[in-house]
Amino acid sequence: MGRLRVLVIGSAAGGGFPQWNCGSAVSRLFWEDDGRVSARTQSSLAVSGDGKSWTLFNCSPDIRQQIMANRALWPELGTRDSPIASVLLTNGDIDHLGGLLTLRESHHFRLFGTRGVLSVLTENRIFDAVNPQFVPRIPVSLDETIDLGGGVSAEIFAVPGKVPLYLEEGEPEIGAETETTVGVKVTGAAGEAFFYVPGCAHLSESLRERLRGAELLLFDGTLWRDDEMIQAGVGVKTGQRMGHISMSGPDGSLEAFKELGIRRKVFVHINNTNPVLIEGAPERLEAEAAGWEIGYDGMEITL
């Protein structure tokens, strides 16, 4: 029997839900106190094999709020302490690493990422506040297995992605499978395993084969439709241009994952424009009918 605990501590995409400056169709339901929507913080998971030592998969700008909302991440009383032993970054986006600045205070934990992602930290001196003397930055190669302690290991793999928005110069290449954007396979002591892919531009053949038959997948749920942000009047970019596959349509994730035999599929990294955030909305019902769960803050899964 396995005992891997997976906590979805933040289920929204960049900006969270509702986003601070957004009153458009879906976000406004929150501001209007509509009970069909719930607030969500930005994209992050916490995972443990023993319930004592935890790894964060991405560290969002909302990490302080996420720690407060999840007792498992509280310090042991009476001392300076944190159960957060490691942080693994899946890309260099602000929603995935901005919270590192909150985890300063000369406290030891291990920080893992690809060389490319870790270079963001070296090139931006403000991250020296997370002093490498206390927080070693450990580069991880693609397909390398990392020991996270407590019998938990993680293997990272390239997924179709894009450089972070703030590093774009001209038209970025979209969908290349490089170390810029990775997914993670996390395995527990009894061999129980799940996949975490919070950002993905399309389902490539290699990714499809890797995920086939998985027990659990937490996957990029940014947008329902590719032109959703344009339609909502909140942006000029398509999901594809942002490096995110949409849920709906012939090339969408609902269709792409139909035949892969994945036992449990959960959307995370959900954008504040996505109508699946509304309980009972037709889009939500369609996603659920296709076998997907809509991730929420505080969702806990034990494998």
88 has which bridge partners?
57, 112
Nearest residue to 112 via CA among 143, 72, 154, 158: 154
- State both tokens at 237: 């970019």
Q: Is 62 in the site for ligand MLT (CB under 6 A)?
A: no
Peptide linkage before 18 cis (omega within 30 of 0): yes
Residues 6+ apart with CB under 8 A from 256: 202, 203, 208, 245
Q: Is 260 in the site for ligand MLT (CB under 6 A)?
A: no
CB of 2 to ligand MLT, least distance (A): 30
CB of 14 to ligand MLT, least distance (A): 3
Tell which one of 203, 242, 254, 270 touches ligand MLT (CB under 6 A): 242
CB of 196 to Mn ion, least distance (A): 13
Question: What's the maximum distance between 2 C-alpha atoms anywhere in the chain?
Answer: 55
- Can you say whether the dihedral through the CA atoms of 130, 9, 223, 38 is positive or negative? negative
Q: Is 95 in the site for ligand MLT (CB under 6 A)?
A: yes
Of the candidate spans 56-64, 90-98, 147-155, 246-254, the one that interacts with ligand MLT by CB under 6 A turns out to be 90-98
CB of 297 to ligand MLT, least distance (A): 17
Burial annotation 187-198 (CB, 10 A radius, 16+ → b, else e): bbeeebbbbbbb
Tell which one of 72, 165, 230, 290 touches ligand MLT (CB under 6 A): 165
- State both tokens at 184: 């993670």
Q: Is 179 in the site for ligand MLT (CB under 6 A)?
A: no
- State both tokens at 273: 């424009």
Per-residue interface string for the shown chain with Mn ion, residues 10-29, x marking contact by CB under 5 A: ---xx---------------
Per-residue interface string for the shown chain with Mn ion, residues 94-133, x marking contact by CB under 5 A: -x--------------------------------------
10 has which bridge partners?
44
Interaction site with ligand MLT (CB under 6 A):
13-14, 93-95, 165, 199, 242-243
Interaction site with Mn ion (CB under 5 A):
13-14, 93, 95
